[in-house]
Amino acid sequence: MTEPNLIVNPLSGEQIVILRSAAETGGQVLDWELRLAPGGRVPSSHAHPEQQETFTVLEGTMRFRVGWRRIIAGPGQCVLVPPGTVHHFANAGPVTARVAVESRPALRMQELLETAAALAQDQHAARRARPRPRDLALFMTEFEREVAAPYLPRRLVRLLMRAIAHTGRAAARRSFSPARQSSSPARQSSRRSSDRARQAPGTARVHN
C-alpha cells in the first residue's frame, strides 16, 4: 500500500512524508520527514524568502551548504536555515538518510513539494535532462513566497520568470484551443472564404 501523505521525487531520490500540514497548525508550521537515498540531493541551491527551515537528522549522514558554510550532520544534529539564506543538501552516506524538517511559517510549502515532485515525474518519464523553461518559470512564479533562485536579484528573476510564464501560458492557449484542434485545413480554408464573402467592400480586414 502507498504510504499516506507520501511525496516521491524520482530525480532527486527524495521521499517526503507530511507529518503536520498547514491546516493542522493554523499555518504556523509544516512538519515533514525527508528520506534521501544514497547519492540523493535537492535538485539545486535555493532560498526561502519568508521561511525558516530546521533540519534534524534522524538517521544517516547529511551534507549541507548554508550560505558559505559547509556542514556534515549526523543523527541528533540540527541545521538551521534562516529566511532568505541560500542552501543545498545531499545524502553524504551509504544508507538512506532520514531528516525531520520544519518549515516556518507553512505558507504553501506542501503544494510546492507536491508540484516539484509532479514536474520531476513528468521530466523523468519523458527522459529529459532538464526541466522545460516554461514549467520552471510557472513554478517559480506560482511559489514566489516559498522559493527563490540563489545569488541573483530577486526582482530581476521575478520579472524574467513572469515573462517566460506569460509567454508559456499564451502558447499553451494557442496550442490547446478547441477550435484549433477540431478545425481541419479544409474547414479553415472554407472559413476564410466565408469571411471574405461577408466583408463589405472597402473595409480593411484585421489580422490577429
Domain boundaries, the chain: 6-107
- Between 116 and 179, the more confident residue is 116
- Band (pLDDT 50/70/90 cuts) for residue 160 is low
pLDDT of residue 19: 97
B/e letters for 60-76, b = 16+ CB within 10 Å, e = fewer, are bbbbbebeeeeeebeee
Sort 46 into a burial class: Cβ within 10 Å, 0-12 / 13-18 / 19+: middle
Confidence label for 208 from pLDDT (cuts 50, 70 and 90): very low
Residue 151, pLDDT score: 60
Q: pLDDT at position 196, please?
A: 47
Q: Using an 8 Å Cβ cutoff, are 67 and 19 in contact?
A: no
**DSSP structure class, residue 207:** P
Quick one: pLDDT at residue 197? 44
Confidence of residue 161 (pLDDT cuts 50, 70, 90): low
- What is the value of pTM for the model shown? 0.73
The alpha-helical segments, DSSP class H, found in 46-145 are 109-126, 133-142
Reading phi first (left if > 0) and then psi (alpha if -120 to 50, else beta), residue 173 is in: alpha
What pLDDT score does 2 carry? 58
% residues pLDDT > 90 (the chain): 58
Q: d(Cα 12, Cα 138) in Å, to the nearest integer?
A: 20
- 128-153 mean pLDDT: 83
Residue 3 has pLDDT above 90, yes or no: no
Q: What's the pLDDT at 166?
A: 60
CATH superfamily of 6-107: Jelly Rolls (2.60.120.10)
Task: Determine the average pLDDT of the residues in 180-201.
Answer: 45
C-alpha distances out from residue 52 to 8, 130, 142, 190, Å: 23, 28, 19, 61
The residue among 143, 128, 166, 117 whose CA lies nearest residue 46 is 143
pLDDT for the residue 187 = 42
- Count of positions (residues) in the chain: 208
